[in-house]
Amino acid sequence: RLRLHDGKLIKDRRYHLRTYPNCFVAKELTDWLIDHKEAPDRETGIRLLQKLMDHYIIHHVCDEHSDYKDAKLLYRFRKDDGTFPLTKDVKVFMRGQSLYEKLVSVEESILKVREENSVKYQRTFLGCEMIDWLVQEGEAESRKEAVELGRALLEHGIIQHVSNRHHFFDSDVLYQFWINFRRRRRLTELLNENSSRALSESPDSPFCLRKLNPDPANTSFLSVQTNKEIKIVSAVRRSSITSLAGNSNPYFSPAPMLVFPPVAECNPKSVLKRPVTNEELLSPGAPYIKKTLTIVGDAVGWGFVVRGGRPCHIQAVDPGGPAAAAGMKVCQFVFSVNGMYVLHLDYQTISSLIMTGPRTLVMEVMEAIE
């Protein structure tokens, strides 16, 4: 969208005596995608732009067409006319992105590579430093408000304590931005996001750690099949968070010494030590905390496996995938999916909800207090 504004493809246009602000001509945008190598051909370009319509990113200026038509019709980004659906979770995610961009753009940024317990972490900052910066830059009116903002960012998986032992505090505790907002994704990844949807009836939640027709040059996870041996496919996993961080984070990896490329472990048997009921999870004083995770799926999927039912739990997490980057861990219980309460559902239903939903997945999970 920003590139189209810079290239003057998005501008005010007049049609039938009416001016439509900040819009583009569909045919011109298809041409632009091909010219800028964002799409190999016209058919692919049309499919990509239809995906943007399906995800409520763009729409026809008069909403007269639900499909993207490669013609001299006017379309607009919803963010340019205020119709983009801004939920509370999306607002927190976008606030985190805005702060990250501001921090990495200034000289002498508080974001630095730091070491703790002989482990180096990227994009780190001290809690008190962040509070000082937020107040100084007018991002928060008081230190109390800044702490609340930091806590919201942590609960949505945007920042975290480097070893995930603390919530956000106004102290000299070390935190990091776990999401690298500057990683540029290829637009064509949109066409692969639901490639595994055809296997949705499989008991293995294929949207998580399975890829249809895997390309050995772009995968690094387990392909799990019912009642069969687990097959390891190991190579460089596309969009791996490890490649962004520059080293392995011991929290997101099965072992502190795990080296790139990581391999997810998916045990067909339940990882739970004992069955847990909904009543136990929700009872007053129960030793569980609720966390909100915002997971942006990549070309492979979201990178986790859900199992069980009433309640469902996280069975496996790909350490190089989006779910791990958002803070998901094995044995967490799934409380809600995109705002829908799901403790009473089985994993097949939850899998279907995830795969038929948007690429940005917002999940509430319940985690045992250690």
Give the pLDDT confidence of 43-56 residue by residue, as tens digits. 999 999 999 998 88
Could you tell me the pLDDT band of residue 291, with boundaries at 50, 70 and 90?
A: very high
pLDDT at residue 228, as a whole number: 32
How far is residue 354's CA from residue 337's CA, in Å, rounded to a whole number? 7
CATH of 1-77, one of 1.10.287.1400, 1.10.10.60, 2.40.128.20, 1.10.10.10: 1.10.10.10
Give yes or no for residue 303 having a pLDDT over 70: yes
Q: What is the model's pLDDT at position 268?
A: 56
pLDDT in the model for residue 213:
36
With a cut of 50, say whether residue 263 has pLDDT above it: no
CATH of domain 88-177: 1.10.10.10
Give the pLDDT of residue 364: 94
- 93 pLDDT more than 80: yes
Percent of the chain with pLDDT over 70: 79
Mean pLDDT on 320-331 = 91
Identical fold at 1-77 and 88-177? Answer: yes
Query: Per the omega criterion (within 30 degrees of 0), is the bond before 85 cis?
Result: no
**Looking at residue 48, what is its pLDDT?**
93
Q: What is the pLDDT at residue 193?
A: 58
Average pLDDT over residues 114-137: 93
Res 249: pLDDT: 36
Is there a contact between 190 and 46 (Cβ–Cβ < 8 Å)?
no
- Write out pLDDT tens, residues 103-120: 988 888 999 999 988 888
Burial class (CB in 10 A: 0-12, 13-18, 19+), 235: middle
Which residue reads 């956000």 in tokens?
A: 168
Please name the fold of domain 278-368. Pdz3 Domain (2.30.42)
- Report the range of poorest mean pLDDT among 31-35, 107-111, 263-267, 296-300: 263-267
The pLDDT-based confidence of 208 (bands split at 50, 70, 90) is: very low
Give the pLDDT score at 159. Answer: 93
pLDDT band at 309 (very low <50, low <70, confident <90, very high): confident
Provide mean pLDDT across the span 212-219: 36
Q: How confident is the model at residue 203 (pLDDT cuts 50, 70, 90)?
A: very low
In this structure, the number of other CB atoms found within 10 A of the CB of residue 57 comes to 15
On average, the pLDDT of the chain sits at: 78
Average pLDDT over every residue of 209-221: 35
Could you tell me the residue ranges of all domains in the chain? 1-77, 88-177, 278-368
pLDDT digit string (tens) for 338-368?
A: 988 898 888 888 988 888 888 889 999 999 9
Q: Higher-confidence residue: 308 or 201?
A: 308
| Whether the model pTM is above 0.85 | no
Rounded distance, CA 36 to CA 48, Å?
14
